[in-house]
Structures are given as structure tokens and as C-alpha cells.
Structure 1
Amino acid sequence: MSFSTEGDEIQTRSLYFVLFAALLATVFILAKQLHDHKRLNAVFSEAALVLMVGMITGGITRSIQAISSTNQNTDDDAVAVESVLANSILSFSPNVFFMALLPPILFHSGYGLRRELFYRHIKPIALFAAVGTLLSALVTGLSLYGIGRLGGLGAFQPSVLELLTFGSLIAATDTVSVVAVLQAKRVDPHLFYLTLGESALNDAVALVLFESFGELLEKFGENGQGTLARSTLQFGLDFSLAAVGSPALGILFGVGAALVFKRSDFRDHKMLELGLYSLCMYVPYTIAECINLSGIVSIFFAGMSARRYIVPNLSTETAHNGEAIFGLAAYLAEICIFLELGMSLWGLKAKFSWAFIGWSLLACLIGRAVAIYPLANLWNCSLKESQLNDAFVEATESFDIEVEKAQNDAGLFQDDVSVSSASTSAQIGFASRIKRKRRTPVKRKDKKISLPMMHFLWFAGLRGAVAYACARKFPGANRDEFIAATMFIVLFTIVIMGGATELVLGILKIATNVDEDKYMEEWHKQRMLKGAFHDFGMFRENDLVV
């Protein structure tokens, strides 16, 4: 749509920002009222509230647009301005999401982490994020393909590559609303860091999968070039490079920035110091994207690295103000994302295949379960060690009696060599009666993922803006159907499942109001307990079966 004058375009953009600012003010006021009503907030999250505000705004905008388009007496220039304004409100730009809104959220997530707890649980986090996301994508895509072959999807018959691409994007989780509840309830730090860490790294793996399958889909769909083996190899290379290079880039950026602040003392120039420090929210992300690494992982580790290395080289005032700016930027970005999601629902020109939407929701929940329960049990098994218990004491006493008897008997008929042989035979007989049992050592107990935690990790796999942004870039002729299914799943998981987070915590009896400082103090005490005496005292029960 072209404008008669440049002033019309400026006016349209100004109106858009005024309306968006008014929406933000409305959200802040309503959110305050929501938090004041504890019972309502327990079943209706702030993210769901923002989504609803966006949907109502989008519906009103859509209605006004329809009325204006049917009004014959309206000035053409006014219609043009209103049309562009409505399209701006009802649209969702993946580029704005990934480049402007996502980096502050991930940077602040990494900035606020306790590094000790995160790195202590990094192995299960990486296991869920890498292997779990891959399993979730494959299970979702292949199960939908099987349902389609059986006729469950009706007239809609996407290819297996399209379904694998869809499975990849719908495997991306968004736990913003869940993490907010976990922070407010002060749940077990183990569960909190598993949820937060897995969500942040999961998005990076899902994006690599989506881009790999999307590229494969475009090649097969357009000119038939490329092979599955070649694409699989490319995915492996991209994933390996991202898995190693992206965290390294984030950490190195933090170290490099710390050296800059250390060598160039900005403490007498607070505004310059704060301005330079604030750039950390975006620079690592953009550098990673420019060199084909994962910006999501890089900015997450840059946040942790900034807290560890940059803050000690800043003035106290700048460190405090920077933390406030990071928190505010992350919060505003989250609000904007959910507002955009709600408003863009009315701008969809999507085709709703309800059979596909229903099966997709079920398939992604099953895929999430496959990504959590087997891997969690596998991780728990890896923590176990073979240990001895009180039965060893009883068995040792009976063994001494047997050895003495064997020596006495052998001494009646044979020489000392025979006595030694009899003693050895008794030892072998004793060893054959000892059966070791594998148990989780106490020093690793905090790493074990309990069954209620598994249930909650499955439940916390909400789908959000990352999945929707990928759907807007979906290749192929069936793009509209996949966008519609993604939007429905996002709305269902955020509104229904996100709103039930606090209720689920109570049902699963997960510990809340945990003092993280005391938790860390106890953890450090356990790390100091070493040696045979500690092991004997901690593994006395049920480790040995005779």
C-alpha cells in the first residue's frame, strides 16, 4: 500500500506506537489486579492474561478493518492509513522476535542463574535438550505420519518431511509462565534449574532441527536434489558446531568484555559504563547468528559469563542499574511477545484442519513424554554405584567361621599348601554368596530426578513464541495448516496448562518455599563429606544382599 505523502507513513507508525504503548499500560494495570487476587492468579497466569488482551485487541481491530473496507464514503487516504495500521497490529514478524525480543529474555535468564547449581545439573539438562528434543521431534512427526497413513487426518495428507519439520518446531518449549510460577513459589532448586536450563537449550536444538528438515523439504519439494544421508550429516555437523562453539562464544564474550572494563576504567563515567554494559544483551546473539552458531545458546551463556566476570569490574551503581535494566528489558520483551501472539491470531489466513490439530496436540504431548521419562530414568541409573551394607558385617562373621573350619579340616589331612587352597576355596564360596546392589550415593542424591519431577518436566513443556515464529517461516504449500495447528497448541498449552501450574505443583507435592541459600549450604556440606567412613555411614542399608 502506497501513501500519498511521506507524512501519512509517519502518522501511521506514530499511531501504531501510541496504541501499543496504551496496550502495555493496560496490561500493567490488569496484571497488578491479577496479582492482587491470589486465587484467580493461581489458575490464570499473567502470560494468559496478556494473550487474552492481545486477542481482544486483535478482534476489535479486525472488526474496524472490516467496517472501514465496506464503507464507500471513506476517504482513500484514510482507508490506506487504517489498513496499514491494522495490518501492523495483526502481524507477527519472526525477524523482530528473534533479533529484538528474544535476546534480552535469554540473557536475563542466564544472568540470574546460580552457576554452581546449573553446572551441577548440566548433564541431565543437556541430555533433555539434545536427545530429548530430537526424540520429541521424531516421535511427533512420525506418529502423525502413521496416523495420516491410517486415514486419521482426513483430506489433509502432508508428506513425512513436512511432518518431521513440524515436529521439530513444535518440540521447542517456552516455559516463561511456568518459570514465573516456580520463582514465586520458590520450588526445589533442582527442579527449577532443570526446567529453566532445558527450556533455554531446547530452543536452540529445535531451531537447528527445523532449519535442517526445512532445507531438506525445500530441496525435495523444488527440484528433488539432495539426499537424506547428506542432510543428516549436515545436521550432525551443524549441531556439533553449535553445541561446542555457541557456549564458548558466550563465555569468551564475557571474559573479553570484562577485560575491556578492567583495562578501561569507566567508574568515573557512569552513563558510558552503563551504556556499554547494556550492549551485552544483544552483541553475543548477533555475532553468533552472523557466523552460523546458535544465538540462543550464546546469549544464555553470555548472561552467566557477564555475572561472573564483568560485574566485579564495574562500579556498584552500574552493576545495580544494569541488573535492573536487564530485568526490565526481559519483562517488556515477554509482554510484547505475548501481545503480538494474541493480536496476530486475527491476522492469520490459515486453514484449520481440526483432525490434524487434535492429533497434533496429542502427538506433541506423547513426544514430550518420550523425551522426559526414558531419559530421566536412564540418568537416574547412571548415578548408581555398587555399594556394601550391614549384611556385609554378618556375612564377614560367617565367612571367618567357614575359613577357620576349612583350615582345621584341611590340617587333618593335608599340608600348608592344601590349607591355603582350602582357605581360597572358602573365599570363593563367600564371594559367590555376595550380591551387590546398585544404589544412588547420598552425595549424588540431589541429582536424582524423582517421579513427581518427571511428571512436572513433562507438564512444563509448553509451546510458545519460538514454535509460532518458526511456523511463520514454514516452507511448502501446506504452511497455513501448520501455522493454524501451532497457534492452537500454543494457546492451549499457555492458557490451560500454564494456568494449572500452581495446581499441579500441589498435586505432585513438590517442595515449595525452599530457601536457596540454605539449599546451597547443605549441598556444600555434602560435598565435603568424603572417605570410607562417610561411605560406610551413608550406605549401610539395603546395599548388599546375601
Structure 2
Amino acid sequence: IGSILVFAIIGTTISAIVIGFGLYFLGIAGVVYQLNFLESFAFGSLISAVDPVATVAIFHALNVDPVLNMLVFGESILNDAIAIVLTTTILESTDGATSTAEAILMGFNRFCLMFFASAGIGVVFALISALLLKHVDLRKNPSLEFGMMLVFTYAPYVLAEGIHLSGIMAILFCGIVMSHYTHFNLSTVTQITMQQTLRTLSFIAETCVFAYLGLALFSFKHRAEPALIVWSLILCLIGRACNIFPLAILVNKFREHQITKKMMFIMWFSGLRGAISYALSLHLNFSDETRHVIITTTLIIVLITTLIFGGATMPLLKFMRATKNSTSKRLRRKKKDREVTLSKTRE
């Protein structure tokens, strides 16, 4: 979990800074569509949210190293929340009367407050639910038990959003703690019902999001800036590299199971952008022209990374695995025949 937190928190911040500074100075130089300091870093933060859904599905199909699967999947879950908090922090900490240094300091304070307070709310609700279900026997009434679980899972999100914190961060940490404590205090019936219900809802939500993403190509007014799109994509790759490789070398000093160079490369390659980035771009309160440029750029980057990088993941993994002499043809054939599903909710 320590490595995942390092990649998700520090890595996402590094990526946002690289992209934000890069676009800001390229805009000043007249190379790309000019964005001001706030707009550059808001875009850098939202485009730093990775969603390697295709990569994770292929990992399951090819049965890759569990550590690699855990790192990519774990980072993608927490990374979305970090990107949302970063973007919200940047948008809320702006004041025309403050200097850049003061704005950065205010943004850092706001980020820490939002991150730790939201996580704390989620943890508190999860612990309360664990204690309540431990001392109150509801095993003979699974309907009430199931209803209480739904309340305790949704309550931290509502409270966090109500006091202008991060609901997704609260519900994420609530889910993590609940899976370790509350889950084992439930009856077997409620455990199965809860898991299958949430997996089904997650699958439906995921499908709707990607359907909406596809329809967005034809539903909104777009303004494409080719130079901005190309340089944003390049900076995404550079920011991802500055995130993965140095931090992987750092965490290797404290890990028993080392992250190999091959794993680092696959983690870098799996930095697909997804629906979170696009959703955040829709909520930017900039001028209409700038907003349309950022939305179009984000949508195109999401589609390019998902289709090209996601589509190239299978051949890349097979090529890199082909160098292993220990893999037999029979095992390769079995792994090739395994079903590939694009859902994160697969067991």
C-alpha cells in the first residue's frame, strides 16, 4: 500500500506540475494555445488522472505478475481521487489579489485539508459501521443489515460534499476500511448480496460513462488546437515518466519485491487517461473559448490513449513475455484463450 500511495499522491502531483509548467511556458513562447497559470495547472491536474481499464483487463487475461497488477490497479483507483482533489484545490485557491507564491501555499494547505479531512470522514464512518455491526446482531435480518451498509457507504460521500470536501476521497477510504473490518461482521447472505450489488452498479456506471464519452464526440461544440493536443500528449508521457521511473527507484529501496525495469516500463505505458479527466474538464469555470479548447483537448487525449495505448498493451506484453524462456507454448495458448473483459469489477 505504501508504494501505491507514493505513486498516486506524489506521482500524480509530479505529473500535474510537469504538464502545468510545460503548457504554461509553451503558451508564453507562442508554441501552443496560451493558457494562464491557473488554467495550465488546472488542466495539468485533471489530465493526470489515469484510468487503465483496458490494461487492467489484459493483465487479468494474461495473468501477469500480481505485484504489477496491484500497483497499476491500486494507483488508478487512488489516482482519480487525488486528481479530483488537486483540480478542485487549484480552482478554489485562486484570488486575483494574491501572488503566485501565496496561491501555491494556499493551494497546498487546501489540498492537505481536503485530503486528510475527507479521508478521515471515510475512516470514521467505516469504523463506526464495523463497531455497530459487531455489537448489534443483525444476522437474522439481512434486509436491515444490507440497508445499513448502503447508508454507511453513502453517508461519508454526502457529508464530505456537503462541507465542500472530496466525496470520492471519503467514500474511497471508507470502502478500504470497510473491506478490512466491517465486511467480516456481516452475515454471509449480506456479504454476498453487498458484493454482487456493488459490482453490478459499478459495471453499469462504468458502461454508462464510456458510452457518454463516445457520444460526447457528437454532442458538444468542439474547438481543436492541434499544437496544444500534440504537446499535451507529449507532456503527459514525460510527466508519467517523471512519475514512474524516479519513484519506482525510490520505493525499491524499501521493498522486498523489487519493481523491475520491465514493470516500470509497463506502468509508464499503462498511463491511459479516462472518464475522470473528461468529467473534470466539463466543470471548469473558464471563458467559453478556453473551456471548449480544454474539453476538446481532454477528449482527444482520452480517446488516443485508450485506443492506441490500450490497444497496444496486449502486443507489448506478449512481446516482452516472449523473451522469457520459462514460458511454455501450452501455457501461452491457455492464456491467449482466456476471456478479456474491460471491467474493473471482475472478480
Give the structure 2 partner of residue 509 of structure 1. Answer: 321
Distance in 1 separating the partners of 2:36 and 2:50? 24
State which of 2, 5, 12 in structure 2 corresponds to 1:133: 12
State which of 288, 291, 295 in structure 2 corresponds to 1:483: 295
**How much does 1:507 deviate?**
2.6
**How much does 1:280 deviate?**
4.1
Distance in 1 separating the partners of 2:24 and 2:12? 18
**Which stretches of structure 1, 4 residues or more, deviate above 4 A after TM superposition?**
510-513
- The answer to whether structure 1 residue 493 and structure 2 residue 305 are counterparts is yes
Give the structure 2 partner of residue 263 of structure 1. Answer: 135
Give the structure 2 partner of residue 200 of structure 1. Answer: 77
Give the structure 2 partner of residue 348 of structure 1. Answer: 220
Moved more, 484-493 or 246-255: 246-255
Q: How many residues get paired? A: 323
Give the structure 2 partner of residue 473 of structure 1. Answer: 283
State which of 232, 235, 238 in structure 1 corresponds to 2:107: 235
- The answer to whether structure 1 residue 286 and structure 2 residue 97 are counterparts is no
SS of corresponding position for 1:355: helix
Letter in 2 for 1:290: G
The one-character-per-residue Cα deviations of 1:205-254 (angstroms, maximum 9, x if unpaired) are 2222212332355x3xxxx3223233222222222234433333333222
**How much does 1:348 deviate?**
1.4
Give the structure 2 partner of residue 360 of structure 1. Answer: 232
State which of 59, 65, 68 in structure 2 corresponds to 1:182: 59
Letter in 1 for 2:79: N
Aligned 8 A contact 2:272 2:309 in 1: yes
Aligned 8 A contact 1:281 1:326 in 2: no
The one-character-per-residue Cα deviations of 1:3-49 (angstroms, maximum 9, x if unpaired) are xxxxxxxxxxxxxxxxxxxxxxxxxxxxxxxxxxxxxxxxxxxxxxx
Unaligned runs of 5+ in 2: 332-347
SS of corresponding position for 2:30: coil
Cα 1:191–1:357 change in 2 (3 A) is same
- The answer to whether structure 1 residue 445 and structure 2 residue 256 are counterparts is yes
Distance in 1 separating the partners of 2:34 and 2:189? 60
SS of corresponding position for 1:463: coil
Cα 1:302–1:190 change in 2 (3 A) is same
- The answer to whether structure 1 residue 321 and structure 2 residue 193 are counterparts is yes
Distance in 2 separating the partners of 1:208 and 1:250? 15
Unaligned runs of 5+ in 1: 1-121, 384-443, 514-546
**How much does 1:270 deviate?**
2.3
Distance in 2 separating the partners of 1:295 and 1:176? 22
SS of corresponding position for 1:173: coil
Percent identity between the aligned chains? Answer: 41
Rg bigger for which structure? 1
Letter in 2 for 1:455: F
Give the structure 1 partner of residue 339 of structure 2. Answer: none
Q: TM-score, normalised by structure 2?
A: 0.85
Give the structure 2 partner of residue 459 of structure 1. Answer: 269
Give the structure 1 partner of residue 24 of structure 2. Answer: 145
**How much does 1:128 deviate?**
1.5
**How much does 1:134 deviate?**
1.5
The one-character-per-residue Cα deviations of 1:343-366 (angstroms, maximum 9, x if unpaired) are 122111121111211111111111
Cα 1:349–1:462 change in 2 (3 A) is same
SS of corresponding position for 1:500: helix
- The answer to whether structure 1 residue 250 and structure 2 residue 60 are counterparts is no
Cα 1:247–1:508 change in 2 (3 A) is farther
Give the structure 2 partner of residue 163 of structure 1. Answer: 40
Q: TM-score, normalised by structure 1?
A: 0.56
Aligned 8 A contact 1:208 1:238 in 2: no
Letter in 1 for 2:145: E
Aligned 8 A contact 2:93 2:107 in 1: no
Give the structure 2 partner of residue 41 of structure 1. Answer: none
**How much does 1:129 deviate?**
1.6
Distance in 2 separating the partners of 1:317 and 1:212? 41
RMSD: 2.3
Cα 1:302–1:212 change in 2 (3 A) is closer
SS of corresponding position for 1:225: coil
Letter in 2 for 1:236: F
Aligned 8 A contact 1:216 1:226 in 2: no
**How much does 1:161 deviate?**
2.6
Cα 1:130–1:270 change in 2 (3 A) is closer
